Amino acid sequence: MDEPRRAFLDDLLATSSPSGFETAAQRVWIDHVSAFADDVTTDAYGNAVAVHEGDPDAPTVAVAGHADEIGFIVRDVLEEGFLRIAPVGGSDRTVSKGQHVTVHADEPVQGVVGQTAIHLRDPDADEYESIEGQFVDVGATDAEEARERVSVGDPVTFSSGIEDLVGSRIAARGIDNRAGIWVAAEALRRAAAADVDATVHAVSTVQEEVGLQGARMVGHDLEAVDAFVAVDVTHATDNPDVDAERRGPVELGGGPVVGRGSANHPVLVDLARDAASDAGIDVQFQAAGTRTGTDADAFYTARGGVPSLTVSIPNRYMHTPVEVVDLEDLDRVADLLAAVADAAEDVDSFAVDI
């Protein structure tokens, strides 16, 4: 990954974006794509759409990631000055205690999720409390001091930053799914640079982690789209503590992951497979027997049915403060989606042949 693209990714990852509070990250994304998009628009909830205008007679393809991340929200301020929290999205109660967090109030407030020292509890009786049973300590001595700085409804995120690991791998919080909106933007840039005939929309949706809400809005509004590609992270199960029955074929560094089954339209699966072969891109496949767990689940039922596909980035330790991806996978996914956009004009019909 070259320096300008890495700087864009780092800017996205450094900008907190819990569901319902995505504005700052969307501004980073919009500022970046505005340099090469023909137009950029937003809606009332902050979904952002950038477009490369192609041949009016060619298909229109949308590539979408979601800007939001999991986190917490302040639900009460206790008399002692501690904050009770609730989850935003699928926050993992097993990794939150003892972590540094930031309360995104009018001014950022630093805190920690309290964890009683091992010396003062019975380790044999340890169990993971629900998020609602945990608390944040911002150092306040009482409720009045805390309320001067934070309010009920302020979002909270982990404070972990971006770390370079061995080779081309990085660890950070919020890779799910700032990696996806990076890919959507980069696929648009590469498609525009190649001047593909298809019209290409790059989309950064909001509130995926709380029910695919932004995708429902975009799927309704983008009436001219012939095909949606949802780009998200998926589980790389190549670390040693994944149970055998949960282990799948996806490996970190193995390249783009193309979904099959459920929302994944067979014409688009074949298009992605052929585009990857022509471009010399190795791909992995993943089964989705019931649902994909991505924005594709909302896109494909929009307006009576829009052909949709998931193309994913392998990710270890999803929904923790230390998600791990390989930057080479991000580049390959962007290459693949630009190639899919280029090849879309050769598709006679996106409908299944019955």
> CATH no. for residue 269?
3.40.630.10
The active-site residue out of 208, 223, 245, 345 is: 208
Instruction: Give residue-wise pLDDT tens across range 217-275.
Output: 999 999 999 999 999 999 999 999 888 778 889 999 999 999 999 999 999 999 999 99
Say if residue 47 is in the same domain as residue 128: no
Range of the domain at 248: 3-69+173-346
Residue 185 CA to residue 90 CA, distance in Å, equals: 25
List, as residue ranges, the binding site for Zn(2+). 66, 176, 209, 232, 319
Could you tell me the pTM of the whole model? 0.96
Residue 351 counted as domain residue: no
**What is the model's pLDDT at position 125?**
80
- Asked whether 175 and 153 are in contact (CB, 8 A), the reply is no
Residue 166 counted as domain residue: no
Say if residue 150 is in the same domain as residue 32: no
Domain count, the chain: 2
Which among 158, 190, 211 is the end of a domain?
A: 158
Which among 102, 125, 158 is the end of a domain?
A: 158
**What is the model's pLDDT at position 93?**
96
Say if residue 152 is in the same domain as residue 198: no
**What is the model's pLDDT at position 217?**
98
Sequence-ordered list of residues with C-beta below 8 angstroms from that of 134, at least 6 positions apart, any chain: 85, 93, 96, 97, 113, 114
Residue 352 counted as domain residue: no
Q: Which residue has the tokens 């994913």?
A: 312
Say if residue 112 is in the same domain as residue 240: no
- Asked whether 165 and 125 are in contact (CB, 8 A), the reply is no
Q: Which residue has the tokens 């509004």?
A: 221
Say if residue 38 is in the same domain as residue 76: no
Q: Which segments of the chain have a pLDDT < 70?
A: none
Say if residue 12 is in the same domain as residue 42: yes
Say if residue 336 is in the same domain as residue 258: yes
The verdict on whether 208 is a catalytic residue reads yes
- Angle at 213 (CA atoms; ends 219, 23), nearest 5 degrees: 100
